[in-house]
Amino acid sequence: QKEVEQNSGPLSVPEGAIASLNCTYSDRGSQSFFWYRQYSGKSPELIMFIYSNGDKEDGRFTAQLNKASQYVSLLIRDSQPSDSATYLCAVRRRRLAFGKGNQVVVIP
């Protein structure tokens, strides 16, 4: 079982719609969860982190954590073309483990 799993297929969303990304993890002892955005040819940049069950909002981004079901999700509201990127989920217990990433394409 992969440590951190993200759906691999590209996600296409129309401009203004909500993009929903999911991430599941295998280690029940994981304590904190991060979402990074990576533009093509660039390095990952932190969007937000969450460590308590429930929702955390930051601007157009909302992270949702459900430790019982071992998943964390990211919602992007009012998607913009500039949101087109790969989104990396990272999970930490002792060290940070990354998923392969989800590519998001926002169509104008």
Partner 1 sequence: ETGVTQTPRHLVMGMTNKKSLKCEQHLGHNAMYWYKQSAKKPLELMFVYSLEERVENNSVPSRFSPECPNSSHLFLHLHTLQPEDSALYLCASSQGTGGPTDTQYFGPGTRLTVL
Residues that bind partner 1 (CB under 8 A): 4, 31-32, 34, 36, 42-46, 49, 51, 88, 90, 92, 94-101
> Of 34 and 61, which has the nearer Cβ to partner 1?
34
Output the smallest distance, CB 46 to partner 1, in A. 6
> Of 18 and 46, which has the nearer Cβ to partner 1?
46
**Judging by beta carbons within 10 Å of its beta carbon (0-12, 13-18, 19+), is residue 76 exposed, middle or buried?**
buried
Output the smallest distance, CB 79 to partner 1, in A. 24
Distance between CA 108 and CA 106 in Å, rounded?
A: 6
Which residues, other chains included, contact 41 with Cβ-Cβ below 8 Å and sequence gap of 6+? none
Q: Which of 13, 24, 30 is nearest to 85 (CA)?
A: 13
Q: What is the DSSP letter of 82?
A: G
> Of 17 and 71, which has the nearer Cβ to partner 1?
71
> Of 17 and 105, which has the nearer Cβ to partner 1?
105
Output the smallest distance, CB 12 to partner 1, in A. 19
